[in-house]
Amino acid sequence: MIDLPPPRHVLCVGRNYAAHAAELGHAAPKSPLLFWKPVGSLCRGGEVALPRWADGPTRVDYEGELALVLGRDLGPGTPPLPADPWEAVAAVAAALDLSDRDLQKAEPQWVRAKGFAQACVVGDLAAPPRDPADVTVRTWKNGAKVQDGHTGVLLFPLRDLLRWVHGFLRLSRGDLVLTGTPEGVGPLAPGDEVRVEVSYADRAGGDARAEVAMRCVEGPAAPAFAREGGP
């Protein structure tokens, strides 16, 4: 049992795999592209309700990821990082970053696109990998493998990312860092079942894995914005 406080922040790294950036029509970023998912978007899997916006139908994609769980505070005002910044990671988990592609394009701030209820699906915590550059991330949709990535090809390796974030951003013990998704993302519909598995050698050298699964259902209709008293 890994005993950590609940997260106060969920920090995410976008387009950390060059092939994923390319499949979305983007150039590989020159520096890490960061965004937040609110803690109110967290869920443990099982049934996940897809939003129905008053704007009309939109495309919501799955993105399988490796999530890091911090074992100490990071950032200005906290103790220096150890020589190996990977020691700041106390656990990992398999995760799904659900992303509304249409709203990402329509709204520069990704609050709705990335932050709707149940948009961050995180499985049980597992012991951290011995080597953060040797983790496999795989996703299955309705029994077919759709993503097969490896952290050895990350644009922004995880040790370097932790060291960089420590220089300017305050994070707390128990916070989550989602590290990016491989190529192979795709749309979701009610009835779809998705499973993500991360596999690696743990710090003792044994085979380890973490996984999370969800089944999509149709969510309640979200209301349109309305000014009280009319226009």
Distance in angstroms (rounded) separating the CA atoms of residues 99 and 13: 13
Provide the β-strand partners of residue 56.
none
Find the helix or strand (DSSP H, E) in which 166 lies. helix 158-166
CA 52 to chain centre: 22
In the block, tokens 């995880």 appear at: 158
- Report field, pTM of the whole predicted structure over 0.85: yes
pLDDT digits 0-9 by tens, 214-228: 999 999 999 999 998
pLDDT digits 0-9 by tens, 121-130: 999 999 999 9
Find the helix or strand (DSSP H, E) in which 115 lies. helix 111-115
In the block, tokens 């129905």 appear at: 52
C-alpha dihedral over 94, 120, 86, 89, to 10 degrees? -90
Domain chopping of the chain, boundaries: 10-221
CA 66 to chain centre: 7
Amino acid 2: pLDDT: 82
The correct answer on CATH 3.90.850.10 for the domain covering 10-221 is yes
- Strand pairing of 120-122 and 60-62? unpaired
One-letter amino acid identity for 197? Answer: E
In the block, tokens 């329509």 appear at: 106
pLDDT digits 0-9 by tens, 58-105: 999 999 999 999 999 999 999 999 999 999 999 999 999 999 999 999
One-letter amino acid identity for 70? Answer: L
In the block, tokens 């997260």 appear at: 7
